[in-house]
Amino acid sequence: MVLLAAAAPFWPPVLWSLVLILPLSAVGFYDLFQERHSICRNFPLFGRGRWLMEALRPYVREYFVESDTDGTPVNRMFRSIVYQRAKGARDTVPFGARVDTYRTGYEWIGHSLAAVDAAEVELDLRVSVGGPQCGRPYQASIFNISAMSFGALSPNAVLPLNKGARLGGFAHNTGEGGISPYHLEHGGEGGTGAAPLEYANSIGMPLREALALVVDCLIGFGLRHQVRVIASGKILTGFHLVKHMALGADLCNGARGMMFALGCVHSLVCNTNRCPSGVATQDPRLYRRLDVEDVAQRVVDVFLSFDTELKKIIAPLGRSTSLPIGMADALGIDDYNAAQRLKIKYVV
């Protein structure tokens, strides 16, 4: 301050630096005498840099550090494919596989020597739901919108989901809890709003193992033909759909894929009411610019992409008139223990 006062008569513009120096000095003095944060007391002003770096870290990691395949909860490879299909953009990839096909746990679908042309695939992509005692059986699409945290989703997110479902002829789940006292929540791979870390990471059986267990139990009790099994948990591509149907699901539901169709940018602030794309927020300043009509069509386009990719995938399997439900013999995995649990092929 003394130096500034001395320099001011010779160069008056130097006083403008006080606009920056005075507020920073005030923050530094506050840090020096506050008792809540020891780092700030030891390093006034500079200690706040830690908070700044922690705030920027998720975005730096996502946009500059992560590869296309190692991000969580959903990596960029899968986010990008949903964005592309929602917007009708090119969704092919050049120069080969994007994953390590020799890693432990790699999953694949084996093709048949009697493959058919995808144009010859004539499938009824709807499943009859309702057992012998059901008074109102109905036909459901093999892919639908899953339950989401509707307390977190904005009105302009719920509306296009519902309108897209109506336009595309598929179902839109009523939300977490549903309307039935017997409704079972998702396992260990769900998450469209917020949850304690312990629940998100460690509560609930992973979908793949849970699906195999449920199907085995229904078969064991002679009830498989009466019960429709719905799988939900990161169903983002046609492969995910076919894989879970092959493991025994009659149909699948997707939530996060549909959030990407709405414009979710994976900023991971669903639990703060500050979603920048207006999807998971109740702040009208953020969601009012989410165009319901435009986004509803993107929801429809993502849904239609599942039908298209399903037909492309099962054509090499030699199927042209039947869904791949229970066709576990077509699946393979580079993990012996998982192969034994799921009753699928293990190839070294």
CATH of the domain at 123: 3.20.20
Checking if the pLDDT of 178 tops 80, the result is: no
Is the pLDDT at 180 greater than 60, yes or no? no
pLDDT over threshold 50, residue 192? yes
Q: Is residue 172 a part of any domain in this protein?
A: yes
pLDDT value of residue 84: 96
The answer as to whether 56 is a domain residue is yes
- Domain identity same for 124 and 143: yes
Q: What is the per-residue pLDDT for 10?
A: 60
- Mean pLDDT throughout 183-194? 58
Q: Do 243 and 103 lie in a common domain?
A: yes
Q: Residue 38 above 80 pLDDT?
A: yes
Q: Decide if 28 is inside a domain.
A: yes
State residue 115's pLDDT score. Answer: 86
**Span of 56-65, 238-247, 316-325 with lowest mean pLDDT:** 316-325
Domain boundary among 65, 96, 124: 65
pLDDT for 187 beyond 70: no
Residue 29 lies in a domain: yes
Domain residues for 284?
Answer: 76-346
Q: Do the beta carbons of residue 101 and residue 110 sit within 8 Å? A: no
Residues sharing a CB contact under 8 Å with residue 34, sequence separation 6 or more, in sequence order: 40, 41
User: Which one has a higher pLDDT value, 291 or 271?
Assistant: 291
Select the more confidently predicted residue: 260 or 115.
260
pLDDT for 151 beyond 50: yes
In a domain, 278, yes or no: yes
The answer on 206 and 161 residing in a single domain is yes
- Give the pLDDT band of residue 193 (cuts 50, 70, 90): low
**DSSP secondary structure, 244-269, as one string:** HHHTT-SEEEESHHHHHHHT----S-
- 177 and 60 within one domain: no
Helix (H/G/I), strand (E/B), else coil: 214: helix
- Asked whether the predicted pLDDT for residue 205 surpasses 90, the reply is no
Domain tally, the chain? 2
Q: Is the pLDDT of residue 15 over 70?
A: no
Q: Report the amino acid identity of residue 232.
A: S
229 or 195: whose pLDDT is higher? 229
- Based on the domain organization, do 25 and 102 belong to the same domain? no
pLDDT of residue 184: 52
